[in-house]
Amino acid sequence: MIDTNYKKKMSLTGLVAQLVTIGLLFIFWRLGQKWVVIPAAAILIFLFFFLPKAIGKLEQRFHKKALMMLSTGKAADVPPYAARQVLLSLFGASAPVDAKLGLALVQLGRFDEAVDCLAHAIPFAPTAELPGLQSAYVKSLLITGDAARAEAEGRSILKNGSVRLPEVLILTARARLGLEKTGPETAALLEEAESHVTSGDVELMRLLTQIEFQLVHRRKPSDLPNDADSTQPFMRVWIHLVRGKLREHRGKIKEALASYSKAVQQGKEERCWFADMARRRIEQLSAKADTSTDNADIPSHDTPSSASAASGEDAALDDVARRKRRRRR
């Protein structure tokens, strides 16, 4: 049997039901309706003893089935399944529902919704599940553009947690870059992440963050492979953004604008901080191009027409001087 060990929180519904039952029992007893004692006592026994056991079994069943969905690529089935867990939500076992729902929403790229679910679940999560939930939470905060909270949560996790996941190290470093914190602490986070053996999206995230860090410090950036790709939409947006930055760094503005446009296009379906950054960069480059065009339209004082006019004026002055000299003679 799977033991989730989620901390239980006081259920408002259960508490109200108990208080109402006790209140009615007291009122009917004072009114002489002693027959009510038996059904009221039965209700209290159910609420105190049988309901918690039933909730525990439902929680175990939900936990097992939701994990199977998440591990077999069926994350889209988790939200409707979680919505049917009415008893768990009403009677104080909503944390495991929020946890699995939050993880499913992260897999589906619905990070805005995942933030609230994960925030509700983490305080009640067991130690075994906490690192994965915290990592998903920091990722959701970062991708939705809340770099300040992502950095604060990441640093708190790294300081207080027993496990320092490479993904949390990288996400925290990227959040710090977004806050213009580019000092030694950010470099140390990236170096520690690099010391771990990583692969797939985590390694790609580390490479993208490292390239952005190098560009900020005007160092020679690492190469981004031409075939760099991911199944996660936010990762594809991030790849296009960094590719655009590399091309802009090399002076290839048209190619950079094309990469930024792909990032914006890729990030249309869901809110994505990297798509927002690409959009702002397109606006900045367009404004810079417009300014250059306007300056080119203004005639310079060193143009051939102005130079010829100046030479004409000098020649006229020379003629006047020669005439004066002849008169003196």
pLDDT mean across residues, the chain: 81
> At residue 256, does pLDDT exceed 70?
yes
Contact residues for 19 (Cβ-Cβ < 8 A; gap 6+): none
pLDDT tens track for 54-74: 677 878 888 889 989 999 989
> How far is Cα 233 from Cα 263, in angstroms, rounded to an integer?
10
Output the pTM of the full model. Answer: 0.75
pLDDT score of 328 more than 50 = no
> Looking at per-residue confidence, does 45 or 113 come out higher?
113
What percent of the chain shows pLDDT beyond 90? 52
Nearest-angstrom CA–CA distance, 211 and 166: 17
Instruction: Supply the angle between the helices 233-249 and 273-297 in degrees, to the nearest 10.
Output: 30
Least confident interval from 2-11, 109-118, 311-320: 311-320
Residue 154 burial (10 A CB sphere; 0-12, 13-18, 19+) = buried
Give the separation between CA 191 and CA 209, rounded to whole angstroms.
11
| Terminal-residue alpha carbon distance, the chain | 125
Q: Residue 39: CB partners within 8 Å, gap ≥ 6?
A: none
> DSSP assignment of 241-287, as one string?
HHHHHHHHHTT-HHHHHHHHHHHHHHTSSS--HHHHHHHHHHHHHHH
Task: Report whether pLDDT(177) > 80.
Answer: yes
Collect contacts of 223-228 with beta carbons under 8 A, ≥24 apart: 228/204
Q: Which pLDDT value is given to residue 221?
A: 94
Listed in sequence order, the residues at least 6 apart from 45 whose beta carbon sits closer than 8 Å to its beta carbon are: none
